[in-house]
Chains A and B, each alone.
Chain A
Amino acid sequence: MTNPMRRFFQVLAVIGLLLSLSGCWGNRPVDERDMVFTIDMANGSPKAPLKMLFQFPTPAALIDYSAHKGLSSKNAPVADVTGSGQTVAQCFNQGQAQVARDLYLGQIQLVEVASNLKPQIFSQALLALTRIGTMDMTPFVFVTKDLTTAMRAQTPQAQFPTLYYSSLYSCTHCATDNLGVRLWQFAAEDQTPGVDPHLPYVSIDPAAQTIVTDRVGLYRHLQFVTALSPQQTQDFGLLKGLANKVSVFIPQGQISLRSIHGSAHLRTAVVHGKVQATFLLNLSSTLAGTATVTHTPAGNAAIAAEASKVLAQNCLRLLKYTQAKDVDPWGVGRMLDWQHPNTFLKFRHWHQEYPKVTMTVHVKLHVYKLGNIK
């Protein structure tokens, strides 16, 4: 081959390769797709037990958003299509039938689940979701009773509802407790023996019609059991090491502590065939106020000791509550499996054993005081 010919073939080969793997095959550019941001899953009719909603931003709103204009109230920022059927694929087909453009599932950022969703349907849908190759497993998941309201309610920030939730859950230090659960985390907890999954629980304040996100929903396998109260959720955050700015008030001495955060470690032990679970909480907090103006180091230590006792009691009460409900969101069984596999293997059903576990909570609280400067 002559030299120019060789050069020609080289250039041809490189260009050909670039074109063939560029992802433009079929000529469907990104801005000509309906990019689904949120999907939700609820029970349908007996014949079509799964009902799904696909929510995507409207083109006009997307343009406004990319121009940093904020969303105008004139145009609807998002559009929904719903579909129902036996499987995720059937629901998707019904949804796709209602729009003229490609309903693209590669950008899903949020999955919302109805609290009454039947476990069997949920399980199948979860598996189907993990098999959507274009979607990575990073969308956040939450559970709610008011499925449609949760995605339509006014948010204080003027942006897409999806972005409200995804920015809430992706900011690990914004909320009181970092409750965000990603799809892969939920799926992994669902599959692992000895642990029950949990999800952030979104409710709607009936008077103001605003979103409230300070609770957590507990599951037994994939069966929704209960949503913890906001106070219990704070203790939940402490026990899971997810707390960022929990506060506590002790009436005696008018002590108020804020910004309680820290790590939590779970240890299991088997003593005379009985399972013991110990939670070690290493917390720090800031003293917000007391009845007295000045404090001594000894007084400070007394406050820390008193607050530790209160927090430990609260946490223990929550642990007992989950034992009564027979849900193990802490993964006591899982830790037992990893630390004492032979003991765990002897149990036929972890849920028969979990209520019998002896729970202990140790809280080590460090209190920072700013002092009271006039």
Chain B
Amino acid sequence: MNNASKRLPRISGLQFGTMVTAGYMAMGVFYFPRELVTAAGRDGIWGLWVDGLVTFALMGLSFKMSRMVPNETFGQFSSQLLSKPVGVVLGLVTIVYHLLLAVVMVTQFTWLTNNDFLPDTPVWVIKTSLVIASLYMAWFGTATLARVLQAGYIPMVALSVLTLALAGTLIRHPVLLVPPVNMQVIPLLQGSYRQYFIFLGFEVSITLYPFIRNEDRRVGERYAYGGLALMIGILTVMYEVCMATFGPAYIPLLRWPMVTLMRTVEISGFFIDKWGSLVIVLWTVAVLGFMAVRLWCTAHDLAGLLFIRSVGSYRYLLLPSAVAVWIVAMLVPNAAVSDYMTEQYLVPTGLLYLSTIPLITITVGLIRKKTVRDLRVGTEAQSTPGSSLE
């Protein structure tokens, strides 16, 4: 059995929550809320909340699925529950998906950095640096990665929220803060669909679930939900500040609305007066965390797919994943192409994957109750909660 409990040390509930949140926070935040506003105008805020609600529901479903066989990675128990070919296909889709998300992130952030901050640095240098840095973050395993995210990620989010509050002073049209009531449903859903990219990455929770300490599972779920609620809160503030500052007509013309907004934040007299620019540069932490979590997931899904059991093989799987991300990222010529990839492939596949897989698995699990019980008992015997951790 490729039992997740062998890859100790495992992570706490808070660390799980942080990793899952880090797994989607940086996604698309740079061009948020352009897609929403372009499609739905001022109604975009409702679109964001629809996205949030959908994510809550899908996250609940995926936890329900993971709870069926809590000690086993999805890649493993799916092939035993849904038959081998289905399991293999699902495993492959998951891996490709993780890698593509990482590629899109690298491309977006590279072009942002290159265009706005480091025009003299060649694109390949930025791409390579990002891949190496995220590989380095993921290199030392789950617990280290989770601790690094806790230490680097949480302060970065706190700083960003404070800076957003500062950006609140730029608001020129307070009337735009009130969500409009005469909504048009079709454009709203369109915007909501296109913007869903921002939450897509939460499926890390499926791969990550068996790595929470047994007694921390419920707490971990709560932290993940809390992280989601926090993200929706932060995104709402971002949306509101951006909307009330620039207005609905100007946002669609901005390449990176959030970045433009943050860069207008100045603190005159302070020794770094372009404060917002500094915070944008610090977002590198979020991007690296996101990529590291993706690489981590790919390595674990690969291990599940290839029936590799040893703990030591993690790094040998991590390296080819990083190389794959690097090569594909080098092939993507610019951010517009990665945008196109997202809209045409990642959003539809992601939504389909996140909604149908848990539903099918849960339904099959209800039919094949005995198999589920056997799987659960078989994996639980090897890991008594708390005993084998240290």
Contact = CB atoms under 8 A, between A and B. Distances in A.
A338 B246 contact: no
B246 to A, nearest CB: 5
A21 B235 CA distance: 28
Contact of A25 (B122, B173, B247): B122
B264 A137 contact: yes
A93 interface: no
Contacts of A339: 175
A111 to B, nearest CB: 15
A25 B120 contact: yes
B116 A26 contact: no
Contact of A191 (B175, B182, B250): B250
B175 A133 contact: no
Contacts of A298: none
A14 B42 CA distance: 45
Interface stretch (A182-190, A203-211, A282-290, A351-359): A182-190
Interface in A192-231: 192-193
Nearest to B182: A341
Size bracket of the A interface: 20 to 34
A192 B172 contact: no
B260 to A, nearest CB: 6
Contacts of A20: 121, 125-126, 128-129
B376 interface: no
Interface in B251-270: 253-255, 260, 263-264, 266, 268
B271 to A, nearest CB: 15
Contact of A23 (B118, B173, B274): B118
A348 B168 CA distance: 34
Given A136-B264, A341-B182, A21 B126 contact: yes
B86 interface: no
Interface residues of B, number: 37
Interface in B152-190: 172-173, 175-176, 180, 182
B119 A133 contact: yes
A26 B116 CA distance: 16
B357 interface: no
B121 A338 contact: no
Nearest to A134: B119
A137 B250 contact: no
Contacts of A192: 247, 249-250
Contact of B249 (A137, A191, A341): A191
B260 A184 contact: yes
A139 to B, nearest CB: 11
A64 to B, nearest CB: 22
A192 B252 CA distance: 11
Contact of B176 (A23, A133, A338): A338
Contact of B118 (A21, A138, A170): A21
Contacts of B182: 341-342
A253 B135 CA distance: 79
B136 interface: yes
A188 B246 CA distance: 6
B133 interface: yes
B264 A138 contact: yes
Nearest to B172: A185
A16 B135 CA distance: 14
Contacts of A26: 120-121
Given A20-B129, A23-B118, A26-B120, A136 B274 contact: yes
A13 interface: yes
A182 B264 contact: yes
Contact of B115 (A21, A133, A136, A188): A133
Contacts of A137: 260, 263-264
A5 interface: no
Interface string B101-129: 00000000000001111111110011011
6 contacts: A17-B129, A136-B277, A184-B246, A184-B260, A184-B264, A342-B182
List of 6 A-B pairs having minimum Cβ-Cβ separation, nearest first: A133-B115, A136-B263, A188-B250, A25-B121, A26-B120, A192-B249
Interface of B: 42, 114-122, 125-126, 128-129, 132-133, 136, 172-173, 175-176, 180, 182, 246-247, 249-250, 253-255, 260, 263-264, 266, 268, 274, 277
Interface of A: 13-14, 16-17, 20-21, 23, 25-26, 28, 130-131, 133-134, 136-138, 170, 182, 184-185, 187-188, 191-193, 334-335, 338-339, 341-342
